[in-house]
């Protein structure tokens, strides 16, 4: 088959690109020749109902596609859809399999594969109905990641939903002779689950960490399923999240570029009546669903709990705020208390915001003379920890293949937390930094007992730098800290903690305590010393070190809070009621998660394709930026692109510099989006012939 010559390097420059449905014998001969000669798996066989296409432009034949019946059994797909065996048997014909995709090896045209996939998905339903009498609802395919990365599928809005077991269609003896492949699906009919008769909870199969993070799809994935009482409100929510994420450092009018219609729609979304269905919980519900699916794809997930106060003292007109602190003069700070659970992989990549409680704290009445021990815990601020713990226990019951470890700071060191874990069947594990040197059942003090135990391991711990922080309200001042490597000694011990006096009837609880202490801190620097209580059995130094490593990831939620406050500026929001504030906060919670994930993906998995997080025009602008500087190289992988974004944000990238942080990244991304807007505006102007658009003639009076 003759090779096409002089094919442009960019798909938007290809003239006459089209799909040709294979119907004649001559077309079938061309299709077979291309697949036999140039596809690693050859022609097939394709089974069941089939459609074949050729890809053509004015330069010749560029490739081919082949569709056939879907796999009879596919665990990842069936979990993702959420159907049972009977529903699957009745409706499997509505799923079509993409069995072959060929872009000829001699054709080097950027984004051609994703454009071909988009053309095929637009045409397939009608061609299939014309030939077989009905339309498909889903398309599935398999990607062998030992040969290709699957970037073109993600760019064409396909979703990775899991992987195969290594069994082919004819593997009846479970020999697993095939390579393990990623499973992707493309939704042709948005309400396919409703047409299958499935409930709202169906389709909660595993989802990869990097699925649908690109700017064109992530907001729809994380917010598109929100039930706000009106589909138009859900559409507004998706648009608002997309706009805010494009420039999270600015207010919505600034991020929207002054677009009056868009601004008006956004504030109408927030200014719903206080009793409307537009609540913080409803806005976050689809993101929680996707978070649960990302958790299912992990063997171990850390659910990190923490609270933070949001100060709105300066918003005098806002109704419904609580009291979050009192300064030395007795003046009260007004605001909201946010208690959240952030799900994180064992490598530290944030999987999503699992749960949030947003309260307006009210001080105890002066007439309430009850001792603290007699006040029910449901009336205390500490009750948030129990609610979050029980939620994680319920989640763990739904994903038995994923081990959940709940990580908490010293504020959660009270007996009711451990007792609630025990009452919940202990499906998860706890990891809590100890605050109280309480007595054990042997009458030894907890900290003294573990300090007296033998040293188990010597290790090094990187202590990150910390900027100085002045005293603020009830927050203590923090001194400046330079980055260093601390030499630590690790000890561990199994202990039993008796119940406190006000819970004397409760049984003692058995835990393990890990003690990590710095041996020789620098002069004038406070020694690093941690006491960690855990329900995880520790019988070896390696297990003790693993507990320490997991606790170190607790700072991910501190980073997330910093992104929320300093990056997204949620304490600068101005709304008339606390309910309306909460709606805006809910959107920013997810945006802050995505900013963190962008930063950490580029740092932890730099070899991912750039298209995971960046659009085509963003990649073009980053490439042009690199070419404009002698000291920069054009990006090839995700890590390169993220580092260039950091350079736009002011990162100097010297050998002594730590990896770029979240603040640098969000500043750089805002700059990148501004540059992209300029490029797109210029292209629109040139495509229009460089002339100003004509105004509509006004009707005469």
Same domain, 627 and 571: no
The tens digit of pLDDT for each residue in 75-87 reads 888 888 988 889 9
Q: Is 198 exposed, middle or buried (CB count within 10 Å of its CB: 0-12, 13-18, 19+)?
A: middle
pLDDT > 70: what percent of the chain? 91
Same domain, 546 and 501: yes
Q: Please give the angle made by the CA atoms of 646, 649 and 650, to the nearest 5 degrees.
A: 95
CATH of residue 452's domain is 3.90.350.10
Q: Does residue 427 belong to any structural domain of this protein?
A: yes
What's phi and psi for 51, nearest 5 deg? Answer: -140, 140
CATH of residue 616's domain is 1.10.740.10
Same domain, 560 and 615: no
Same domain, 150 and 296: no
pLDDT for the residue 169:
47
pLDDT for the residue 109:
93
Same domain, 575 and 613: no
Give the span between the Cα atoms of 267 and 645, in whole angstroms.
Answer: 30
Residue predicted with more confidence, 82 or 612: 82
Same domain, 616 and 575: no
Q: Does residue 458 belong to any structural domain of this protein?
A: yes
- The answer to whether 168 and 177 have CB atoms below 8 angstroms apart is yes
pLDDT for the residue 614:
82
pLDDT for the residue 701:
42
The tens digit of pLDDT for each residue in 491-500 reads 999 999 999 9
Q: Does residue 420 belong to any structural domain of this protein?
A: yes
pLDDT for the residue 176:
45
CATH of residue 196's domain is 3.40.630.30
Q: Does residue 460 belong to any structural domain of this protein?
A: yes
pLDDT > 90: what percent of the chain? 54
Instruction: Tell me the two tokens of residue 687.
Output: 């495509």
> How many distinct structural domains can be found in the chain?
3
Please say which residue of 178, 205, 232 terminates a domain: 205
Give the span between the Cα atoms of 406 and 341, in whole angstroms.
Answer: 9
Q: Does residue 266 belong to any structural domain of this protein?
A: no
Same domain, 451 and 331: yes
* Domain limits for position 147: 11-205
Residue 635: name the closest of 619, 648, 653 by CA: 619
Give the span between the Cα atoms of 514 and 548, in whole angstroms.
Answer: 8
Question: Of the spans 350-354, 655-659, 688-692, which averages the highest pLDDT?
Answer: 350-354
Average pLDDT over residues 273-302: 91
pLDDT for the residue 657:
81
Q: Does residue 302 belong to any structural domain of this protein?
A: yes
Please say which residue of 147, 181, 205 terminates a domain: 205
Query: Is 70 exceeded by the pLDDT of residue 629?
Result: yes
pLDDT for the residue 33:
96
Q: What is the Rg, in whole angstroms, of the alpha carbon atoms belonging to the chain?
A: 29
Q: Does residue 174 belong to any structural domain of this protein?
A: yes
Question: Of the spans 5-14, 310-319, 532-541, which averages the highest pLDDT?
Answer: 532-541
pLDDT for the residue 151:
81
700 pLDDT band, cuts 50/70/90, is very low
Same domain, 395 and 499: yes
Same domain, 416 and 324: yes
- Please provide the average confidence, as pLDDT, over all residues in the chain: 87
Average pLDDT over residues 269-280: 90
Give the span between the Cα atoms of 486 and 528, in whole angstroms.
Answer: 8
Same domain, 493 and 568: yes
The tens digit of pLDDT for each residue in 643-652 reads 999 999 899 8
Q: Does residue 263 belong to any structural domain of this protein?
A: no
Query: Is 90 exceeded by the pLDDT of residue 337?
Result: yes
Average pLDDT over residues 545-568: 93
The tens digit of pLDDT for each residue in 299-336 reads 999 999 999 999 999 888 899 999 988 776 678 889 99
pLDDT for the residue 175:
47
Same domain, 578 and 629: no
User: Of how many residues is the chain composed?
Assistant: 701
Same domain, 307 and 399: yes
Cα–Cα distances in angstroms (integers) from residue 385 to residues 66, 382, 406, 582, 593, in the given order: 53, 6, 11, 20, 21
Please say which residue of 147, 173, 205 terminates a domain: 205
């Amino acid at each position: 088959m003759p090779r096409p010559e002089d094919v442009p390097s960019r798909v938007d420059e290809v003239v006459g690109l089209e799909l040709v449905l294979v119907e004649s014998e001559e077309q079938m001969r061309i299709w077979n020749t291309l697949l036999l000669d140039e596809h690693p798996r050859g022609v097939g066989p394709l089974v069941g109902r089939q459609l074949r296409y050729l890809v053509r432009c004015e330069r010749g034949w560029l490739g081919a596609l082949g569709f056939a019946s879907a796999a009879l059994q596919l665990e990842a797909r069936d979990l993702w859809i959420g159907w049972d065996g009977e529903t699957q048997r009745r409706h499997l014909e509505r799923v079509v399999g993409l069995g072959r995709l060929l872009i000829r090896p001699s054709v080097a045209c950027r984004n051609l594969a994703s454009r071909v996939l988009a053309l095929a998905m637009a045409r397939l339903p009608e061609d299939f109905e014309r030939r077989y009498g009905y339309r498909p609802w889903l398309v599935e395919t398999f990607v062998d990641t030992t040969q290709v990365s699957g970037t073109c599928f993600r760019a064409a809005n396909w979703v990775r939903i899991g992987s195969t077991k290594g069994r082919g269609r004819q593997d009846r003896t479970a020999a697993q002779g095939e390579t393990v492949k990623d499973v992707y699906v493309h939704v042709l009919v948005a309400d396919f689950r409703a047409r299958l008769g499935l409930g709202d909870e169906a389709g909660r199969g595993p989802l990869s960490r990097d699925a649908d993070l690109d700017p064109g799809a992530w907001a729809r994935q994380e917010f598109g399923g929100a039930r706000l009482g009106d589909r138009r409100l859900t559409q507004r929510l998706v648009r608002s999240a997309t706009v805010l994420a494009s420039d999270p450092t600015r207010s919505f009018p600034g991020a929207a570029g002054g677009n009056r219609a868009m601004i008006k729609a956004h504030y109408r979304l927030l200014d719903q009546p206080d009793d409307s269905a537009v609540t913080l919980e409803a806005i976050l519900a689809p993101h929680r669903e996707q978070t649960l699916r990302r958790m299912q794809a992990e063997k171990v997930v850390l659910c990190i709990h923490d609270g933070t106060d949001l100060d709105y003292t300066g918003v005098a007109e806002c109704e419904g705020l609580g009291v979050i602190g009192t300064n030395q003069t007795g003046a009260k700070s007004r605001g909201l208390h946010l208690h959240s659970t952030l799900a994180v992989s064992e490598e530290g990549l944030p999987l999503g915001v699992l749960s949030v409680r947003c309260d307006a704290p009210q001080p105890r009445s002066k007439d309430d003379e009850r001792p603290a021990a007699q006040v029910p815990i449901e009336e205390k601020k500490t009750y948030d920890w129990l609610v979050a713990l029980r939620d994680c226990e319920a989640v763990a019951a739904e994903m038995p293949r994923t081990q959940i470890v709940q990580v908490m700071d010293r504020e959660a060191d009270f007996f009711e937390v451990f007792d609630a874990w025990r009452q919940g069947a202990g499906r998860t594990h706890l990891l809590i930094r100890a605050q109280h040197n309480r007595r054990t059942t042997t009458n030894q003090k907890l900290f003294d007992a573990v300090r007296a135990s033998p040293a188990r391991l010597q290790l090094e711990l990187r202590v990150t730098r910390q900027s100085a922080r002045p005293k603020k309200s009830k927050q203590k001042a923090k001194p400046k800290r330079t980055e260093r490597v601390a030499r630590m000694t690790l000890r561990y011990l199994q202990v039993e903690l008796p119940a406190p006096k006000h819970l004397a009837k409760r049984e003692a609880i058995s835990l393990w305590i890990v003690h990590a202490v710095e041996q020789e801190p620098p002069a004038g620097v406070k020694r690093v010393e941690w006491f960690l209580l855990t329900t995880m059995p520790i019988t070896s130094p390696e297990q003790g070190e693993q507990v320490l490593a997991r606790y170190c990831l607790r700072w991910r939620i501190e980073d997330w809070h910093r992104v929320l406050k300093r990056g997204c500026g949620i304490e600068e929001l101005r709304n008339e009621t606390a309910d309306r504030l909460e709606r805006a906060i809910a959107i920013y919670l997810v945006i802050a998660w995505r900013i963190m994930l962008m930063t950490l993906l580029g740092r932890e998995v730099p070899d991912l394709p750039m298209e995971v997080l960046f659009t085509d025009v963003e990649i073009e602008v980053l490439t042009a930026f690199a070419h404009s500087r002698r000291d920069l190289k054009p990006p090839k992988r995700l890590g390169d692109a993220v580092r260039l974004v950091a350079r736009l944000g002011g990162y100097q990238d010297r050998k002594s510099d730590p990896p770029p942080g979240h603040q640098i990244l969000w500043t750089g991304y805002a700059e990148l989006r501004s540059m992209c807007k300029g490029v797109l505006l210029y292209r629109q102007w040139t495509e229009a012939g460089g002339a100003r658009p004509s105004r509509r003639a006004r009707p005469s009076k």
